[in-house]
Every structure is written in structure tokens, then in C-alpha cells.
């Protein structure tokens, strides 16, 4: 291939990679936000819901069910909330940077112009 074709292929590959990273980060934000909302509901149940008078509660962490004092369970969930918030903020920052990079590709090498009706008519002759 010629140098121009190689350059165009490289630019298109970079754009595709950035677009994939943006979509991956967007899905990560959605997943982390769902977990954060579930944690928030859990904390509300521990403080205001049916479990507020309990001394110990069953809690699932990963693949394990463990029985913890309410205070420890609440602390664990709040720490998880902080970690999730940090992950969401990092994903959003990365996504914003990638969008700015993606918008930076102006594709000057193509110099595409729209086809006029006269050109279209000449092609069909």
C-alpha cells in the first residue's frame, strides 16, 4: 500500500479503538451505577427499613454469605460506595478524554466534497 493509504488505515484504526474504549467506559459507568444504587438501597434498609432493629444481618460479598453486625455491614457498604464512586469518576474522565481525542481527528487527508446534481447527471450519461 502507499503511504497515504497506510496513514488513512492508521487514523481509522485509532478512531475505532477510541470509539470502542468510549463504549466500554460507558457500560462500566452503567454497571457501577447499578451496583451503587443497590448499595444505597441496602444502607437505607439497615438504617430506616425492616433491618434497623437487628443486631446482625446476613450479607453477600462476592460468592459468600456472611453474618455481620449492622455497624460493620454498613461500614463495608459505605466503603464500597466510595470505591464505586471513584471508579465511575475515573471512567467518566477517561471517556471525556477519549471523546476529545476522537473529535480531534479532522480527517483532512480525505478532502471530501459533496456531489452536485450536475455531477450526478454526468455520471448517469
Torsion (CA) 85, 48, 65, 32 in degrees, nearest 10: -20
Going by their DSSP bridges, the two strands 56-61 and 64-69 should be labelled as antiparallel
Span 37-62, average pLDDT:
89
Higher pLDDT, 115 or 96: 96
One-character DSSP codes across 58-111: EEEETTEEEEEEHHHHHHHHHHHHHHHHHHHHHHHHHHHHHHHHHHH---TTT-
pLDDT tens-digit profile of 5-17? 888 888 889 999 9
Give the model's pLDDT for residue 106: 62
pLDDT of 109 above 60: no
Question: Is 63 strand, coil or helix?
Answer: coil
Find out whether 26 and 98 touch, Cβ atoms under 8 Å: no
pLDDT band of 111, cuts 50, 70, 90: low
Amino acid at each position: 500500500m502507499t503511504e497515504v493509504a497506510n496513514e488513512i488505515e492508521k487514523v481509522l484504526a485509532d478512531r475505532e479503538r477510541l470509539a470502542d474504549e468510549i463504549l466500554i467506559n460507558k457500560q462500566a459507568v452503567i454497571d457501577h451505577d447499578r451496583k451503587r444504587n443497590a448499595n444505597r438501597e441496602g444502607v437505607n434498609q439497615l438504617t430506616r427499613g425492616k433491618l434497623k432493629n437487628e443486631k446482625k444481618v446476613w450479607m453477600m460479598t462476592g460468592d459468600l454469605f456472611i453474618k455481620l453486625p449492622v455497624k460493620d455491614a454498613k461500614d463495608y457498604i459505605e466503603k464500597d460506595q466510595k470505591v464505586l464512586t471513584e471508579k465511575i469518576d475515573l471512567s467518566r474522565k477517561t471517556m471525556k478524554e477519549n471523546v476529545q481525542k476522537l473529535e480531534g481527528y479532522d480527517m483532512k487527508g480525505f478532502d471530501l466534497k459533496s456531489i452536485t446534481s450536475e455531477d450526478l447527471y454526468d455520471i448517469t450519461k
